[in-house]
Amino acid sequence: MNELFRRVMALFFPEHCPFCDEIIHPLQDGCESCIDAIQDTTSCCPYCGKPLCECKDRKYLDGVYSFAFYEEGVRDGILRMKGEGRASLCRNFSRILSRQIPNRDFDWVTFIPMSPKELRKRGYNPPKLLAQYLAKETKLPFRPLLDKTRETSAQHTLSLEKRKTNLIDAFAVEKPSLVRGKRILLVDDILTSGATLEEGAKTLKESGAHSVFAAVIAVTDNRLKPKEKSDIMIENGETDEKTAQ
């Protein structure tokens, strides 16, 4: 039934490759050439999510699932999803990401929240929509668990050290009774410094969560030199748009 629905909908609303934006078959998640070109993250540390281990900087996250590095087509797709409001791409990304999550033993799928001001500016919260689609793909229950309690500076505008403190106490658990003893999958779009997801995991565990794993579309490659990272951000307009956390 789901496949038939996707085929019918594609007649009116064609599916687009999230990486190159070309029209694709309704049952594809991306065009074959783009999927084949993705540099997957299977070589990354399963706990911190990075190719060069950063576990010493992680106290609360129990692991990270991702499917690509933040580069080339993946980067372009995320920018279209966020900067151009292409919410439909969340569905494609979530289907691909779901295949990287062999462990389906979670009680909740949730997401990194936005403040009301941020939400009004963007119009929707990409991590929330990613989490909703991911929950559907993995047949796991979805639930908003975190609130953002104060405005913060955009993470990508800050130095690494300031990123680590920018979000301290910025989140709160809406209903602690839903979190106690639970295994939680926390969804965001990109893992850069890891500070956002680490703060979210900290907040959940302080409310009694048993474990918190992260699921993201992409991770930045910490093997790159600082100048290379900066060039990637400038090239894609990240100095003007909230893309990296």
What integer pLDDT is reported at residue 117 of this predicted model? 83
pLDDT > 50? residue 231? no
**CA angle in degrees (0–180, nearest 5) for 96-70-26:** 30
Looking at every residue in the chain, the average pLDDT score rounds to 85
- Collapsing DSSP states into helix, strand and coil, what is residue 181? coil
What is the percent of the chain with per-residue pLDDT over 90, rounded to a whole number?
A: 56
What integer pLDDT is reported at residue 160 of this predicted model? 66
Q: What is the pLDDT of residues 47-67, one digit of tens each?
A: 999 999 999 989 999 999 999
CB neighbour class for 208 (10 Å; exposed up to 12, middle 13-18, buried from 19): middle
Q: What is the pLDDT of residues 97-117, one digit of tens each?
A: 999 998 889 999 999 998 888
Domains of the chain: 45-70+92-235 (3.40.50.2020)
- Collapsing DSSP states into helix, strand and coil, what is residue 141? coil
Its sign, for the CA torsion 69, 74, 76, 78, is negative
pLDDT > 50? residue 235? no
E strand or H helix that includes residue 172 = strand 171-173
What integer pLDDT is reported at residue 115 of this predicted model? 83
The strand pair at 146-148 and 171-173 is best described as: antiparallel
- Collapsing DSSP states into helix, strand and coil, what is residue 207? coil
| CA 131 – CA 235 distance, rounded (Å) | 28
What integer pLDDT is reported at residue 113 of this predicted model? 94
What integer pLDDT is reported at residue 84 of this predicted model? 78
Q: What is the pLDDT of residues 150-187, one digit of tens each?
A: 877 666 666 666 676 777 888 999 899 999 999 999 99
pLDDT band for position 87 (cuts 50, 70, 90): confident
The strand pair at 183-187 and 211-215 is best described as: parallel
What integer pLDDT is reported at residue 242 of this predicted model? 40
